[in-house]
């Protein structure tokens, strides 16, 4: 006999798609995998022996200092004591769920939002309060209405190159969200995995830096810019939350692997790292433009989209009102994988949207896959 | 406002002791730290670049195969598909709590038991059902009574060099536990972090290998025999549990760090590893005997204990009926740290017991610390 939460342990749709998508002959627009050829080289030379022992639950001091310095540069004035090193930012979702979510707790999310956040908060029994997105960020009038009427315990937002929509909140939206959360005492959980993957000018100043009263957690990761396999990420938070998050981290896995923290710190502080980030942006910028051109060519009459100013995804809305989930099997039969819109909504609905990743496939495969996918859709219409 | 479980997030006693115990002039018998001088050398030479990408949630195939082969040698006939790689065995506690524990769920534990298990299961709202220990394992009559009357959803047991008591279940106890759990359908969670640290002959065949019907999870780790800082551990389980544990693992941190899995696999499969384990046993065996001699000399008239046949701890019961927690500050004032008995009991009680670790301090410091601790106790009486 299992716990009640196992009834809420969500299904295998995404995992199944990703499993199929990893077949070697498949063109995959499904996952969010960084391109292996764009990853920096790991170097464990000089790894100190004293990191073999158990380490501190909060993470290594030198890595926390480096993260705090970087966040301060981005406008979030924090010290090492405000940083908690995580075993991947997925762990941040889990710790925040433990901190905040009981069965029935109102949790505000964007619609659409990151599917792993939906899965994680669902597991703990969250009741989702959705706020739709516009081209310039979350719908502010709707946000205010829902904040007042639903009193969410926290809001989970992805303001910079939102996953899956690609939206980047403009400055007015960022300030208004901060003001509302201060006024109504809503805790902000700000997830920014893609903030360094910027291709066009836009406001990327974290919302948490604008808060005056509300509590907040800011999640960051090195998985999109460096080495996902190391499982090293971090959070920064307001001082009231750290004592609890620290204990929850300790209860979850004692601490994050120290060798990974060391190798990541070595990468981050290497003289080449700024140039690596610049190269990475240029590389993904090129791939985004290749997918944009392919979409212009093959999708102009069957879907609408906005070219994302950063991140790893295009978010397409079909002109026809069909369930994009029904396109999945026909597309897989033609060896193209994508993510249908459905699992990105916290409150289940039919969606005529598709998320297409452009970081992983080669330029030739992007063109070929987009063409094939358009054929599949036209055949279905 | 936090979740209800935060009210159950347990206190800082242990963390405070360990923080103080890590001061450089302190003789620490408090933690369970392996000796750094007994750790094998980590070698990342040859690390494949393709491990930089995201990896499988269940862990790397080659490591799962190596673990399954080792477990099969120990009598637990499993394949790689029955192994889940964990980010430290602490994560196993968390995943099992998620799988089984709702508020009020009856959870059977030994009295005393591993304090981190108490903390973890408490967080999820466990109602503990304690069964006392005897010199040959858990009290079997009491176990049967409690299984019948309390119907625990699972039992968390540490049959081999139990922490903190050092008890190793004999063969009859192992068989009887298996029979009872099969008969009453109690899921067994068997935690064996210390099984390789054996100094005297005793039965170490895992209980899960004797089960015919009941579900089970077996936790194992490399933290006590190799490199705790890597955070690589594993579980094996009955096939009915794996689909849920796999999803819970994915929701917790996607997967365990791949570079750590690779380095651990390299260590495990190196030609020197069996000799390393033999050296480690000899080294800790020597330290155990040094602490045993010091205790015989300084504690013979103030405490009772059994020399542990394996593991890392002595468990002392004072002859006087005093709260060993009251000895902590006087001992710390004299620069000796130990763990009082109290936090090892799932159901709070006063304890006149002490746990002393012998793996971390040097032979000279063991003698000096035991002598000082005896003086502190005599002064207190």
Structure tokens given for B299: 């504690």
- Other beta carbons less than 10 A from residue B164's beta carbon: 28
- Other beta carbons less than 10 A from residue B24's beta carbon: 4
Structure tokens given for B142: 């009491």
Angstrom distance (rounded) from CA A261 to CA A308: 31
What's the pLDDT score for residue A161?
Answer: 98
Contact (CB<8Å) A123/B3:
no
DSSP assignment string, B162-222? -TTT-----HHHHHHHHHHHHHHTPEEEEE-TTTT-B-S------GGGG-SSS-EEEEEES
Q: Which residue of A has its CA nearest to B51?
A: A229
Q: Does residue A16 have a pLDDT over 90?
A: no
Q: What backbone phi and psi angles, to 5 degrees, belong to A269?
A: -100, 5
DSSP assignment string, A245-265? HHHHHHHHHSS--HHHHHHHH
Burial B252-290 (b: 16+ CB within 10 A, else e): bbbbbbbbbbbbbbbbbeeeeeeebbeebbeebeebbeb
What's the pLDDT score for residue A11?
Answer: 61
Sheet architecture: strand order including A353-357 = A303-304, A313-318, A353-357, A339-340
**Quick one: which of B242, B177, B170 has its CA closest to B211?**
B177
Chain B residues close to A51, C-beta within 8 Å: 229
Interface test with B, best of A251, A357, A360 (most B CBs within 10 A): A251
B52 and A42 Cβ atoms separated by less than 8 Å: yes
Q: Answer whether A334 touches B (CB < 8 Å).
A: no
Q: What's the gap in Å between the CA of A380 and the closest CA on chain B?
A: 33
What's the pLDDT score for residue A21?
Answer: 76
A280 and A225 Cβ atoms separated by less than 8 Å: yes
What's the pLDDT score for residue A33?
Answer: 87
Q: Could you tell me the CA-to-CA distances from A95 to A180, A247, B97 in Å, in that order?
A: 25, 10, 14
Angstrom distance (rounded) from CA A1 to CA B101: 10
Q: Answer whether A4 touches B (CB < 8 Å).
A: yes
Contact (CB<8Å) A228/B91:
no
Q: What backbone phi and psi angles, to 5 degrees, belong to B223?
A: -70, -30
Chain A residues close to B54, C-beta within 8 Å: 31, 33, 223, 228-229
Q: Does residue B12 have a pLDDT over 60?
A: no
- Can you tell me the mean pLDDT for A225-234? 96
What's the pLDDT score for residue B323?
Answer: 97
Nearest to A229 among B41, B98, B258 (CB): B258
Angstrom distance (rounded) from CA B309 to CA B161: 7
Q: Does residue A12 have a pLDDT over 60?
A: no
Q: What backbone phi and psi angles, to 5 degrees, belong to B60?
A: -75, 140
Chain B residues close to A232, C-beta within 8 Å: 257
Beta bridge partners of residue B316, listed in sequence order: B354
Nearest to B256 among A31, A98, A231 (CB): A231
Angstrom distance (rounded) from CA A278 to CA A199: 10
- Can you tell me the mean pLDDT for B30-51? 93
Chain A residues close to B87, C-beta within 8 Å: 87, 231, 253, 257
Q: Could you tell me the CA-to-CA distances from B358 to A60, A177, A229, B181, B248 in Å, in that order?
A: 27, 55, 36, 34, 36
- Can you tell me the mean pLDDT for B25-49? 93
What's the pLDDT score for residue B19?
Answer: 76
What residues of chain A, 150 to 189, have a C-beta less than 8 Å from chain B? 153
Distance separating the N- and C-terminal Cα atoms of chain A = 46
Contact (CB<8Å) B9/A248:
yes
Distance separating the N- and C-terminal Cα atoms of chain B = 46
Q: Give the model confidence (pLDDT) of A165-216 as tens digits.
A: 999 999 999 999 999 999 999 999 999 999 999 999 999 999 999 999 999 9
What's the pLDDT score for residue B20?
Answer: 79
Nearest to B44 among A47, A231, A258 (CB): A47
Percentage of the residues of chain B whose pLDDT score is greater than 90: 93
- Can you tell me the mean pLDDT for B329-353? 95
Q: Does residue A18 have a pLDDT over 80?
A: no
B291 burial via Cβ count (<10 Å: 0-12, 13-18, 19+): buried
Q: Give the model confidence (pLDDT) of B227-245 as tens digits.
A: 999 999 999 999 999 999 9
A101 and A107 Cβ atoms separated by less than 8 Å: yes
Q: Does residue B9 have a pLDDT over 80?
A: yes
Q: Does residue A29 have a pLDDT over 70?
A: yes
Q: What's the gap in Å between the CA of A302 and the closest CA on chain B?
A: 33
Contact (CB<8Å) B90/A251:
yes
Q: Does residue B356 have a pLDDT over 60?
A: yes
Q: Does residue A126 have a pLDDT over 60?
A: yes
pLDDT band at B11 (very low <50, low <70, confident <90, very high): low
Q: Does residue A32 have a pLDDT over 90?
A: no
Contact (CB<8Å) B102/A5:
yes
Contact (CB<8Å) A3/B105:
yes
- Can you tell me the mean pLDDT for A266-285? 96
Q: What is the mean pLDDT of chain A?
A: 95
Contact (CB<8Å) A257/B229:
yes
Interface test with B, best of A40, A54, A102 (most B CBs within 10 A): A54
Residues 6 or more apart in contact with residue A312 via CB below 8 angstroms: A32, A34, A161, A163, A194, A197, A224, A284, A357, A358, A359
A225 burial via Cβ count (<10 Å: 0-12, 13-18, 19+): buried
- Other beta carbons less than 10 A from residue B232's beta carbon: 32
Percentage of the residues of chain B whose pLDDT score is greater than 70: 99
Nearest to B39 among A52, A228, A232 (CB): A52
Q: Residue A90: which H helix or E strand, with range?
A: helix A89-100
Angstrom distance (rounded) from CA A312 to CA A34: 8
Least confident segment among B11-25, B245-259, B291-305 = B11-25
Nearest to A9 among B49, B227, B247 (CB): B247
E runs forming strands in chain B: 27-28, 83-86, 106-111, 127-134, 137-138, 154-157, 187-191, 216-221, 233-237, 303-304, 313-318, 336-337, 339-340, 353-357
Q: Answer whether B102 touches A (CB < 8 Å).
A: yes
What residues of chain A, 48 to 87, have a C-beta less than 8 Å from chain B? 49-55, 87
- What is the pTM assigned to this prediction? 0.97
- Can you tell me the mean pLDDT for A340-360? 95
Q: Give the model confidence (pLDDT) of B161-213 as tens digits.
A: 999 999 999 999 999 999 999 999 999 999 999 999 999 999 999 999 999 99
Q: Give the model confidence (pLDDT) of B74-128 as tens digits.
A: 999 999 999 999 999 999 999 999 999 999 999 999 999 999 999 999 999 999 9
Interface test with B, best of A126, A246, A254 (most B CBs within 10 A): A254
> Any idea what DSSP says for residue A42?
P
Q: Which residue of A has its CA nearest to B50?
A: A36
């Amino acid at each position: 006999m299992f716990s009640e939460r196992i009834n809420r342990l969500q299904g295998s749709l995404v995992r199944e798609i990703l499993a199929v998508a990893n077949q070697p002959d498949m063109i995959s627009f499904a996952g969010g995998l960084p391109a292996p050829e764009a990853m920096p080289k790991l170097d464990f030379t000089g790894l100190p022996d004293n990191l073999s022992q158990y380490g501190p639950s909060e993470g290594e001091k030198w890595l926390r200092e480096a993260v705090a310095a970087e966040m301060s540069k981005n406008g979030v004035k924090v010290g090492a004591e405000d940083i908690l090193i995580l075993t991947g930012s997925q762990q941040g979702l889990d710790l925040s769920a433990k901190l905040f979510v009981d069965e029935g707790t109102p949790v505000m999310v964007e619609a659409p939002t990151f599917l792993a956040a939906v899965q994680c908060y669902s597991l703990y029994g969250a009741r989702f309060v959705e706020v739709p997105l516009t081209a310039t960020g979350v719908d502010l009038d709707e946000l205010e209405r829902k904040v007042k009427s639903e009193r969410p315990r926290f809001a989970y937002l992805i303001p910079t190159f939102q996953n899956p929509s690609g939206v980047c909140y403009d400055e007015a939206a960022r300030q208004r969200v901060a003001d509302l959360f201060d006024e109504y005492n809503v805790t902000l959980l700000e997830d920014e995995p893609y903030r360094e993957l910027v291709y066009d000018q836009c406001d990327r100043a974290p919302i948490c830096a604008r808060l005056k009263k509300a509590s907040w957690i800011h999640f960051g990761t090195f998985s999109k810019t460096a080495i996902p396999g190391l499982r090293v990420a971090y959070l920064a938070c307001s001082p009231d939350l750290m004592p609890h998050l620290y204990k929850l981290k300790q209860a979850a896995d004692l601490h994050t692997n120290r060798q990974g923290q060391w190798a990541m710190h070595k990468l981050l502080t290497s003289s080449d790292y700024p140039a690596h980030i610049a190269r990475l942006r240029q590389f993904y910028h090129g791939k985004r433009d290749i997918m944009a051109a392919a979409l212009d060519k093959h999708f102009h009459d069957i879907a609408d989209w906005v070219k994302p100013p950063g991140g790893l995804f295009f978010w397409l809305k079909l002109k026809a009102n069909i369930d994009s989930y029904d396109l999945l099997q026909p597309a897989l039969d033609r060896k193209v994988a994508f993510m249908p819109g459905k699992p990105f909504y916290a409150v289940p609905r039919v969606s005529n949207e598709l998320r297409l990743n452009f970081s992983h496939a080669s330029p030739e495969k992007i063109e070929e896959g987009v063409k094939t996918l358009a054929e599949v859709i036209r055949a279905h219409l």
